[in-house]
Chains A and B, each alone.
Chain A
Amino acid sequence: MNDGGIKRRDFLKVMGWGGASVALGGCGNASLESGAELVESYVQPEDFMVPGISVYYASTCTQCEAACAVHGRVREGRILKLEGNPDSSINKGKICGLGQAAVQSHYNPDRLTRPQIRQGGKLADATWEQAMTLLAQKVGPASGVQGGEFALLSGAVSGHLKVLLQNYVDSLGSKNHFVYDALSPAVTYSANKKIYGVESPRLRLDKAKMILSFGADFLGSWVSPVHFAGQYAQFRKAPRGVLVQVEPKMTLTGANADRWIPARPGTEGVLALGIANQLLQDAALAQKAPAGAAAAVKTYTKEMVSAATGVPADQMDKVVALLKERTPSLVLSGPSAEGHAHGSQTATAIALLNVILGNVGKTIEAPAALPFPQIAPSSGSYAGLREFNDGLSKGQYKAVFVYGANPVFTAPGFMGLGDNLGKAAFKVVFAESLDETAAQADLVLPLDSALEGWGTHVAHYQPGGTELNVQQPLMEKLHAETRGMGDVLLDLLKQRQPDQYKQWPDYYAYLKSAVLQNKAAFGQAASDDEAFWRGALSAGLLKVSAPEPAAVKVGSVEVSLPAAEADNAQYPLHLVPSVRHSFRDGRHANLPWMQESPDALTTMVWDSWAEIHPKTAARLGVKEGDYLEIASDKGAIKVKAYVFPGIHPGAVAVPVGQGHEELGRYAKGVGVNPFKILSPVFDKDTGELAMYATRVKVSKTGQHEKMVKDEGASNGKQAGTKIVVTLPTDKVNLAREV
């Protein structure tokens, strides 16, 4: 703008005059817009519709797997806001920021509004008729595609949609329904199953007097955060519970803890066994402990554990003293402890503490049973993705469907999934926005938003009795050409098994008849069908009547941990791919509210960053804003450094979820994607990807850029800055001040 153009200062001067005249205009009669807008009226309104007055409908939040029940505020037929539904035992009337942003997901300008078919290498707009014809041609009965030639990759699913997905895969004679979740809790579930006999025991944070959490970010992104936040509030009421958090990178939960312990990444299990060893020195605890436990942990002496974990012996002593003093307690294990090659063993070692402390049955309870296995949640796992990818790389699929997952973005780079996907002859992606996987598809089908569609959901974590959460449209469709996943599946099933499915004109009819058939299971066998259904929709949830669950039985707590990992000279640091509650696996990076909400710990917005300990930064000569190259054996990312004391000196943390190449204007080109540099390390027991086991080296690139964040100076230290000047009450001269 400097070559014969306008200088910034001139521009501002002129705009100043212009602006002043606008302001003057505004003072007169001239700020009204008569006749400029339409005022929409109704043809025949419902009796209860009053323009300007909101009505509330119950539905279910689908932003994460917790399945919180919500009430949507609707005015003039538009959904404006979501609130928590107080009748749900999951969220008890509360809702998180990510849940609030579901509204923005619905109104997102980058939503897909038409089917797209690949023509001449590019995706082009098409009609549903063309799309369904193409589907009939490529995967319909006449296509000849069947059995192992077809695969479906879905995100975690539950409820009646899961039944239809499964039925469709079955109708092709295929066994390939792979369920994938990039942030899979599969290791937790398998360890829980082994130790407590159930995958998701009820955790009673509210009953505990002390919580020792190994990387479980229950206030942020772990399992059912809204529910746990409520329990946490109870836990902190007088007499105040004590929270100790062990993790390599401070999470929101860690920031709330009374004591935050950064054990060397991967040694959380060793620390747990060290604590177990000290606890078992207490005769009363040793007496009740499982046979052989004392012998199994006796080599984990204070000195050995302290050397292996880097946790000073006196800190361990304090934790042990707290655990002895405060019963019942609760010990949790989360992804950063379990994301290593020995993750399942670590989870077992941590659970052993609960057994020794007698917490099982007190703060760890059995969940209520779900009498319908067909609609029970299938939680995703890495195993699902691996099988899908193996099939792709062998070129054995003629047709693949992807729904509720974005594997091209979330799969680790070493899998080469993006390239392998090209080997499938016909790829169909069902999505709301064009994500990285959809961009590679041959057919993209635009789905209704979660606020426009019907559905049922069963949460994996059920804190009360089992709930079936009902999702109903909160407004008419924004775009005429989007459809519900259930409706598309029904049409596809009708292509194959018309007789079985012709009785249901749409997914709503299917859902209603399926729920009505099971009235009895909800304890309402005698009620009238329509009254029952209206009741279900107005409540937004149905409580399953099931007998009180049996007590949790302690199973095997045998544990064997490997010797501490040797220092790695080539890749000296541990990569912590931390999970932000706002983005989860990255599917929500297209929500500007989430991009704009500062990260809870660093206050960063609209970007990725690498958290690095001040000592490590000093050693490498790194200052805040310096671009770092973080390289693993599988690739490198370039990202700005954020010098942060809340991280283990031997680790560097980069949040996942950013670094999109697609997913619309708000996500594209923002930040970096650490999924791409993960190393192929797997949990030995379950085969799950060990997300926290990647080793990296960090070097300066020489570039520097200012960080965009809310906090002030680096590290945000406010002590001594006199932001708010205070005086003790006894020093205040009230006669002068008031």
Chain B
Amino acid sequence: MHRLTALLFFAVLGIIGVPAAYATDPTTIVEQPIEFPHDRHAGDMGINCMYCHTYARRSIVSGIPPLAKCIGCHQNIESVKDKPRIKKLFEYWDKKQAIPWKKVHDLPDFVRFNHERHIQRFYFQQGKPVQEVCGYCHGDVKTMKVAQQVKPLTMGWCRSCHMEDHQVAKGSKETTNGPSDCWVCHK
């Protein structure tokens, strides 16, 4: 390779190529194997987020609901059984195959975000509405079809909330900030 071309190649790779590989515009549309309508479930029917994302209050991750959870309801909902999405759902169930959902809110591996801490604090202790609490990071999911990332989820953005005063519990006048210790998230 000619020297100049080679240098140019690395320069271009460095300035454009490499960041592009990491970049995700917050408005990127992620396509899923089944176009799951959050608006129907969380919006029209007003199902609590934690009915499906049941691990959010007890684990670091909220968890994608197991297939059995979808089937648990849908085997009794005759009216939509012939819809293409539901047919697809039962195809997976018949094959006993997990649905290969794509990760929409995917933090870098060096960041440790704990769902349990946030849900316990804002939902259980402060008694805020669940959709508001989840919505801090996930946006207004009840208006979306397939969930999309709408918040930046960057460190500066996390910090902007951690620096605010938050009520310790419902009715309490005492407030605290979110932790600012590096090791809380980077460990």
Judge whether A33 and B14 touch: CB under 8 Å: no
Judge whether B102 and A14 touch: CB under 8 Å: no
Of A21, A42, A43, most buried by chain B (CB within 10 Å of CB) is A43
Q: Is B77 an interface residue when CB atoms closer than 8 A count as contact?
A: no
Q: B58-66, B124-132, B164-172, B178-186: which one contacts chain A?
A: B58-66
Chain A nearest CB, measured from B64 CB (Å): 4
Chain A nearest CB, measured from B158 CB (Å): 12
| Alpha-carbon distance between A43 and B98 when the two chains are bound, in angstroms | 5
Q: Is A141 an interface residue when CB atoms closer than 8 A count as contact?
A: no
The size of the chain B interface, using a CB distance under 8 A, is 51
- Residues from chain A with a CB closer than 8 A to the CB of B25 are 29
Q: Is A39 an interface residue when CB atoms closer than 8 A count as contact?
A: yes
Judge whether A31 and B22 touch: CB under 8 Å: yes
> A5-B1, A41-B65, A50-B63 are known contacts. Are A32 and B102 too (CB-CB below 8 A)?
no
Judge whether A50 and B3 touch: CB under 8 Å: no
Which parts of B16-42 form the interface with A (CB within 8 Å)?
18-19, 22-26, 28, 30-31
- Residues from chain A with a CB closer than 8 A to the CB of B59 are 50-53
Q: Is A40 an interface residue when CB atoms closer than 8 A count as contact?
A: yes
Judge whether B96 and A43 touch: CB under 8 Å: yes
- Residues from chain B with a CB closer than 8 A to the CB of A37 are 102-103, 106
Judge whether B18 and A22 touch: CB under 8 Å: yes
- Residues from chain A with a CB closer than 8 A to the CB of B154 are 28-29, 31-32
Q: Is B99 an interface residue when CB atoms closer than 8 A count as contact?
A: yes
Chain A nearest CB, measured from B122 CB (Å): 19
Q: Which residue of B lies closest to A38 (CB)?
A: B100
| Alpha-carbon distance between A11 and B61 when the two chains are bound, in angstroms | 42
Judge whether A33 and B19 touch: CB under 8 Å: no
Q: Is A233 an interface residue when CB atoms closer than 8 A count as contact?
A: no
- Contact partner of B55 (CB less than 8 A), chosen from A33, A34, A50, is A50
Judge whether B66 and A43 touch: CB under 8 Å: yes
> A29-B152, A39-B103 are known contacts. Are A14 and B24 too (CB-CB below 8 A)?
no
Q: Which residue of A lies closest to B63 (CB)?
A: A51
| Alpha-carbon distance between A29 and B26 when the two chains are bound, in angstroms | 8
| Alpha-carbon distance between A402 and B23 when the two chains are bound, in angstroms | 52
Q: Which residue of B lies closest to A25 (CB)?
A: B19
| Alpha-carbon distance between A75 and B153 when the two chains are bound, in angstroms | 25
> A6-B7, A10-B7, A18-B10 are known contacts. Are A43 and B102 too (CB-CB below 8 A)?
no
Judge whether A40 and B106 touch: CB under 8 Å: no
Q: Which residue of A lies closest to B12 (CB)?
A: A18
Judge whether B11 and A34 touch: CB under 8 Å: no
Chain B nearest CB, measured from A480 CB (Å): 15
Judge whether A39 and B102 touch: CB under 8 Å: yes
Which parts of B135-187 form the interface with A (CB within 8 Å)?
148-149, 152-154
- Contact partner of A32 (CB less than 8 A), chosen from B60, B67, B106, is B106
Judge whether A5 and B65 touch: CB under 8 Å: no
Number of contacts between A and B (CB, 8 Å)? 146
> A29-B154, A33-B24 are known contacts. Are A22 and B98 too (CB-CB below 8 A)?
no
Judge whether A41 and B66 touch: CB under 8 Å: yes
Q: Which residue of B lies closest to A4 (CB)?
A: B3
Q: Is A523 an interface residue when CB atoms closer than 8 A count as contact?
A: no
Q: Is B47 an interface residue when CB atoms closer than 8 A count as contact?
A: no
Q: Is A30 an interface residue when CB atoms closer than 8 A count as contact?
A: yes
| Alpha-carbon distance between A53 and B10 when the two chains are bound, in angstroms | 43
Q: Is A15 an interface residue when CB atoms closer than 8 A count as contact?
A: yes
Q: Which residue of B lies closest to A16 (CB)?
A: B14
Q: Is B13 an interface residue when CB atoms closer than 8 A count as contact?
A: yes
Chain A nearest CB, measured from B130 CB (Å): 19
| Alpha-carbon distance between A65 and B52 when the two chains are bound, in angstroms | 47
Which parts of A44-67 form the interface with B (CB within 8 Å)?
44-45, 50-53
- Residues from chain A with a CB closer than 8 A to the CB of B86 are none
| Alpha-carbon distance between A271 and B7 when the two chains are bound, in angstroms | 70
- Residues from chain A with a CB closer than 8 A to the CB of B19 are 21-22, 24-26, 30
Q: Is A505 an interface residue when CB atoms closer than 8 A count as contact?
A: no
Interface string of B90-115 (1 = CB under 8 A from A): 00110011111111111110000000
Q: Is B68 an interface residue when CB atoms closer than 8 A count as contact?
A: yes
Q: Is A36 an interface residue when CB atoms closer than 8 A count as contact?
A: yes
Judge whether A32 and B108 touch: CB under 8 Å: yes
Q: Is B15 an interface residue when CB atoms closer than 8 A count as contact?
A: yes
| Alpha-carbon distance between A42 and B99 when the two chains are bound, in angstroms | 8
Judge whether B67 and A41 touch: CB under 8 Å: yes
- Contact partner of B11 (CB less than 8 A), chosen from A17, A45, A52, is A17
| Alpha-carbon distance between A40 and B61 when the two chains are bound, in angstroms | 12
| Alpha-carbon distance between A79 and B10 when the two chains are bound, in angstroms | 39
Chain B nearest CB, measured from A701 CB (Å): 39
> A4-B3, A6-B3, A25-B23 are known contacts. Are A31 and B14 too (CB-CB below 8 A)?
no
Q: Which residue of B lies closest to A45 (CB)?
A: B66
Judge whether A14 and B23 touch: CB under 8 Å: no
Q: Which residue of B lies closest to A26 (CB)?
A: B22
Q: Is B6 an interface residue when CB atoms closer than 8 A count as contact?
A: yes
> A21-B14, A22-B19, A31-B108 are known contacts. Are A40 and B98 too (CB-CB below 8 A)?
yes
| Alpha-carbon distance between A29 and B59 when the two chains are bound, in angstroms | 26
Of A6, A24, A35, A38, most buried by chain B (CB within 10 Å of CB) is A35
Judge whether A19 and B67 touch: CB under 8 Å: no
Chain B nearest CB, measured from A68 CB (Å): 28
Judge whether A44 and B68 touch: CB under 8 Å: yes
| Alpha-carbon distance between A11 and B7 when the two chains are bound, in angstroms | 7
Chain A nearest CB, measured from B148 CB (Å): 8
> A4-B3, A14-B7, A41-B101 are known contacts. Are A35 and B28 too (CB-CB below 8 A)?
yes
Q: Which residue of B lies closest to A44 (CB)?
A: B68
- Contact partner of A39 (CB less than 8 A), chosen from B68, B101, B108, is B101
- Residues from chain B with a CB closer than 8 A to the CB of A17 are 11, 14-15
| Alpha-carbon distance between A258 and B68 when the two chains are bound, in angstroms | 64
- Residues from chain A with a CB closer than 8 A to the CB of B105 are 32, 34
| Alpha-carbon distance between A15 and B9 when the two chains are bound, in angstroms | 11
- Residues from chain B with a CB closer than 8 A to the CB of A24 are 19
Chain B nearest CB, measured from A506 CB (Å): 21
Chain A nearest CB, measured from B11 CB (Å): 5
Judge whether B14 and A15 touch: CB under 8 Å: yes
Q: Which residue of A lies closest to B28 (CB)?
A: A34
| Alpha-carbon distance between A34 and B104 when the two chains are bound, in angstroms | 5
| Alpha-carbon distance between A6 and B101 when the two chains are bound, in angstroms | 44
Q: Which residue of B lies closest to A6 (CB)?
A: B6
Judge whether A38 and B14 touch: CB under 8 Å: no
Which parts of B38-97 form the interface with A (CB within 8 Å)?
55, 58-61, 63-68, 92-93, 96-97
Judge whether A30 and B66 touch: CB under 8 Å: no
Q: Which residue of B lies closest to A24 (CB)?
A: B19
- Contact partner of A41 (CB less than 8 A), chosen from B26, B58, B99, is B99
> A26-B22, A30-B24 are known contacts. Are A36 and B100 too (CB-CB below 8 A)?
no
- Residues from chain A with a CB closer than 8 A to the CB of B107 are 32
- Residues from chain A with a CB closer than 8 A to the CB of B61 are 51-52
8 example contacts (A-B, Cβ-Cβ < 8 A) are as follows A6-B3, A28-B154, A30-B19, A32-B154, A34-B28, A38-B100, A41-B99, A43-B67
Lowest 4 A-B CB distances belong to which pairs?
A: A18-B14, A25-B19, A35-B30, A52-B59
Given contacts A14-B11, A25-B18, A34-B106, 20 further A-B contacts (CB under 8 A): A4-B2, A21-B14, A21-B19, A25-B22, A33-B24, A33-B103, A34-B104, A34-B105, A35-B28, A37-B106, A38-B101, A42-B68, A43-B67, A43-B68, A43-B96, A51-B55, A52-B55, A52-B59, A52-B61, A52-B63
